[in-house]
Amino acid sequence: MMTSKKIIVIGGGPAGLMAAGQAARAGAEVTVFEKMKQPGRKLCITGKGRCNITNIAEKRDLFAHFGKSGKFLHQVFNQFANTELMEFFAGRRLELVKERGGRVFTASGKAQDVYQCLLKWLSDAGVKIKKSAPVTALLIKDNRVRGVISRHNEFRGDAVILAVGGASYPLTGSTGDGYRLAEAAGHKIIAIRPALVPLETRGNIAARLAGLSLRNIKIGLYIDNKKKKDAFGEMAFVKFGIAGPLILTLSGEIVDYLAAGRRVDIAIDLKPALDTKKLDARLRRDLEKRHKECVDSLLRGLLPREMVPVCLEMTGIPAERLAGEVTAKERRRLKIWLKDFRIQVTGRRPVSEAIVTAGGVDTREIEPRTMESRLIRGLFFAGEIMDIQADTGGYNLQAAFSTGWLAGTASRGGFETRPKHQSPPDGQV
What CATH number has the domain spanning 6-193+354-411?
3.50.50.60
What is the identity of the amino acid at 162? L
Buried b (16+ CB within 10 A) or exposed e, 145-160: bbbbebeeeebebbbb
**Please, which contacts does 97-100 make with residues 24 or more away whose CB atoms are closer than 8 Å?**
98/56
The arithmetic mean of pLDDT across residues 184-203, rounded, is 94
What is the CB neighbour count within 10 angstroms for residue 24?
24
- Amino acid of residue 373: S
Please check the confidence at residue 2 and state whether its pLDDT lies above 60.
no
Q: What pLDDT, on a 0 to 100 scale, did the predictor assign at position 173? A: 56
For the chain, the first-to-last Cα distance in angstroms comes to 39
Give residue 168's pLDDT band: very low, low, confident or very high (50, 70, 90).
low
Span 136-150, average pLDDT: 97
Query: Among residues 209, 224, 104, 166, which one has the least CA distance to residue 350?
Result: 166
- The answer to whether 114 touches 51, Cβ cutoff 8 Å, is yes
Cα 257 from Cα 347, distance rounded (Å): 10
What is the distance between the alpha carbons of residues 280 and 230, in angstroms, rounded to a whole number? 22
Q: What pLDDT is stored for residue 419 in this prediction? A: 39
393 contacts 231 by C-beta, under 8 angstroms: no
The answer to whether the beta carbons of residues 234 and 215 sit under 8 Å apart is: yes
Rounded Cα–Cα distance for residues 387 and 385 (Å): 7
In the chain, what are the domain boundaries? 6-193+354-411, 199-271, 281-342
Determine the residue type at 7.
I
Determine the average pLDDT of the residues in 323-351.
96
Q: What does pTM read for this prediction? A: 0.83
Task: Say what percent of the chain tops pLDDT 90.
Answer: 79
Mean pLDDT of 72-79: 94
Strands 159-162 and 379-381: parallel
What torsion, rounded to 10 degrees, do the Cα atoms 237, 242, 243, 245 define?
A: 100
Q: Is the Cβ–Cβ distance between 293 and 322 less than 8 Å?
A: yes
Angle (CA) 150 169 205, round 5°: 160
Q: Confidence band (pLDDT; 50, 70, 90) for 424?
A: very low
For residue 41, the model assigns a pLDDT of 84
